[in-house]
Amino acid sequence: MAKRDYYEVLGVNRDAAEPEIKTAYRRLAMKFHPDRNPDNPKAEEQFKEAKEAYEILTDANKRAAYDQYGHAGVDPSAGGGAGAAGFGEAFGDIFGDIFGGGRSRSSVYRGADLRYNLEVTLEEAARGTETKIRIPTMQACETCHGSGTKPGTQPTSCATCGGHGQVRMQQGFFSIQQTCPKCHGSGKVVKSPCLQCHGAGRIKQHKTLSVKIPAGVDEGDRIRLSGEGEAGVNGGPTGDLYVVIHLKAHAVFQRDHNDLHCEMPISFSTAAVGGDIEIPTLDGYAKIKVPAETQTGKVFRLRGKGIKGVRSTTFGDLMCHVVIETPVNLTTRQRELLAELEDINVKNAGRHDPRAKSWMGKVKEFFAE
């Protein structure tokens, strides 16, 4: 009798991911296991069929061969049907995940990712730069090349787990796999540890890296340096390094995404009669014409004088906030002139100070209520 398509057996699409395949298998295994279907003689065959499909489709190499050549591309014995006595084996990987077990491949660990906080100036963030950083990290031992053993020796197979990295425990109806307590899942025991790393296979070192900061980075942006994290365990892949950008406080500007803000102090006389002033930008100075009767809080926008963000196509703007500066260290003559000006303003109340008149009107209304 011709075998059914493995994807059809599990009821998944041909592009299904491994978690979806595992979920489908769990459902069928629980449904058709012979111990749960003593009166259904076909249950065991359906259980074997589901397990065979699961084992083929969760093995990357076997699945690729099956997708290309069908059943002829895989070893017919790879599925190795599971009888009623193999219930614990069928569910070992499922319950192993729950109780801390798993297959021996779990002894190979990816190295940890690292984080480095890098402070840059506003100018460096706007224009981009390149800098060097020095970080502590765990690297593969150069003496033993990560094996943890003395040069010329090899680790031996763990006698407790037989080199599998897992031990099987029978708990009533279920057989549960757990990480071997002797070798901690590696499947090997180091009897002659390396003197440099003391059998760990890794040592703590410092390394200097060159980091390119792209133009336009902002507070909290991350730059990923692939493979520059900690070395993996038991031959596992190296982790990554994430450089997190932090902007130093600037003496003149405050950044808001791609826009810049700054306070622009102007004299009382300039605010009253108007004039031209120069203000700083990241590219030099720019002139602004201040109209007569300018009030505190007025904002002048200089388009395109901000920052072009990493993901932006245009530059932001520069916002100049007017702050009228009260004169200090006045001479006698200056005091006389200001006093004369104040007398004129008092005689023409409301004509030269519309804000004050409006504010006093609101105050009177408040107390009149």
Q: What is the pLDDT of residues 1-43, one digit of tens each?
A: 567 888 888 998 888 888 888 888 888 888 888 777 877 878 8
How is the chain split into domains, by residue range? 6-90, 114-247, 250-326, 329-369
The answer to whether 194 and 150 have CB atoms below 8 angstroms apart is: yes
Q: For the segment 331-360, what is each residue's pLDDT rounded down to a tens digit?
A: 888 888 888 877 777 666 655 565 655 555
Q: For the segment 261-318, what is each residue's pLDDT rounded down to a tens digit?
A: 998 888 888 888 888 888 888 888 888 898 888 888 889 999 999 999 988 889 999 9
Side-chain-facing half-sphere of 120: CA atoms under 13 Å: 30
CATH architecture of 114-247: Ribbon (2.10)
Considering only CA atoms, which of 229, 255, 224, 228 is closest in space to residue 120?
255
Q: CA torsion, points 170, 23, 18, 236, in degrees to nearest 10?
A: -40
The answer to whether 186 and 199 have CB atoms below 8 angstroms apart is: no
| Other Cβ atoms closer than 10 A to 26 | 16
Superfamily per CATH, domain 250-326:
Urease metallochaperone UreE, N-terminal domain (2.60.260.20)
CATH architecture of 6-90: Orthogonal Bundle (1.10)
Considering only CA atoms, which of 203, 168, 166, 196 is closest in space to residue 183?
166
The answer to whether 320 and 264 have CB atoms below 8 angstroms apart is: yes
- Cα(285)–Cα(32) distance, rounded to whole angstroms? 79
Backbone dihedral region of 73: left (phi > 0), alpha (psi from -120 to 50 degrees) or beta? alpha
What's the Cα-to-Cα distance from 151 to each of 100, 143, 154, 256, rounded to whole Å? Answer: 33, 7, 8, 57
Q: pTM for the complete prediction?
A: 0.53
